[in-house]
Every structure is written in C-alpha cells, then in structure tokens.
Amino acid sequence: MYPGATCALTHRSPWELLVATILSAQCTDKRVNMVTPGLFAKYPTPADFAAVRPEALAQDIRSTGFFNNKAKSIVGAARRVVSAFGGAVPKTMEEMLTIPGAARKTANVVLGTAYGIAAGVVVDTHVSRIAQRLDLTQNTDAVKAEQDLIKIIPPEHWISFSHQIILHGRALCVARNPRCAECGLNDLCYAADKTV
C-alpha cells in the first residue's frame, strides 16, 4: 500500500534529523517542518546548538509545544554530540542512547533514516496503536512493543515497516475515525472499533 514510504521530517543531515525527531514529540511533522528551516539557518551546526542557552532556544521552537524540555534536550544532545562524538551523530544504538533526548524511538529514526542501519523498529503513537489493532503486539509500552515487533518482522523490513505504518495511520487508520472500508488490511484486523 505504501511502497515508497520515507521519513516525513525534512532534514539534510543526521544531526538535523536528530533535532527534528526530538521536536516531533507531541507535535505534527508538518509543524516541525515549518520550524526547522529557520532553526537550522540560525544554528547551522551542532556546535552552534551547544553554545545557545536553552531558554533562548525555547523561544525559537515554542510552536512545537513542550519547548522548554525540548530545548534542554537539544542543547544537551548538541553538547554530547560535540564533546563525545566530534560533532557527528553516532551510528550505534548504544552510543545514541547516551544522547539527551534520544530514547529508542529517536535512535531508531536517526539510525534507520539517516544511516540505513536497522537497529530496531520505530514505535511511535501510530505504530503502537496500529500494531495493537493488528494483534502484532498487546504491549502499550513502546520498548516492549518494539521487542514484539522485531521478533515477527524480518530485519530487512524494520526501517520501511515503521514508515509504512505511520503513513497508514495518517491516511486510513486514523485514531478517531478509521476508514476501514478503504483499508487493504481490513481482513486482517479485528479491532473492536472497526467502522465496517
């Protein structure tokens, strides 16, 4: 249904993708994509982000919500990337998890999209909700849901699977009013709130 699915966050580098992914928490990708061009023009490198005060950065990202926490995470991430990794976003899950603001979801987004490294499955709200609807997991905890998914999805599909499910969640399997009659997965879904 979604053969060319890719990450919806606009970015030109692994660092920009890391920042955009941190900003995307509790915010739409569309809003993040409106904020990041000006943000990256103002702060072009990780070192520029590392030098800014979180309070100042918070004003630049205000429209993404939770801006104070996100600003602290981004400045912390920049300082870690500069001090520990020479300004380059690392390429392993273990190293990614040492970066402020980068839990498994963010690490999987960056590793998969920026580097093509399938270290796991991105579990965001769409993936979590739809995986439960399709009985791929019963876990509501993202880390446990990811462990369930990596057991049943071949590693060569880990990156594309998440992008496809996220697109499906936006296009058809919307949370408040799923369009089940149009869904190619209708016969595989036994969700209690199906609309057909």
> CATH number, domain at 44?
1.10.340.30
Query: Residue 69 sits in which domain range?
Result: 14-115
- The Cα–Cα gap between 157 and 162 comes to 9
Number of domains in the chain: 2
Average pLDDT over all residues of the chain: 96
Tell me: do 107 and 138 sit in the same domain: no
User: What pLDDT does residue 190 have?
Assistant: 84
User: What pLDDT does residue 38 have?
Assistant: 98
Of 129, 134, 77, 83, nearest to 103 by C-alpha is 77
Asked about 151 being catalytic, the answer comes back as no
- Is 92 contained in some domain? yes
Asked about 105 being catalytic, the answer comes back as yes
User: What pLDDT does residue 196 have?
Assistant: 72
Tell me: do 177 and 98 sit in the same domain: no
User: What does pTM read for this prediction?
Assistant: 0.95
- Is 130 contained in some domain? yes
User: What pLDDT does residue 120 have?
Assistant: 98
Q: Which of 70, 72, 91, 124 is catalytic?
A: 124
Tell me: do 95 and 132 sit in the same domain: no
Whether 195 and 180 have beta carbons less than 8 Å apart is answered as yes
- Is 193 contained in some domain? no
Q: What stretches in the chain show pLDDT beneath 50? A: none
User: What pLDDT does residue 195 have?
Assistant: 87
Q: Which of 30, 42, 48, 105 is catalytic?
A: 105
- The Cα–Cα gap between 100 and 104 comes to 12
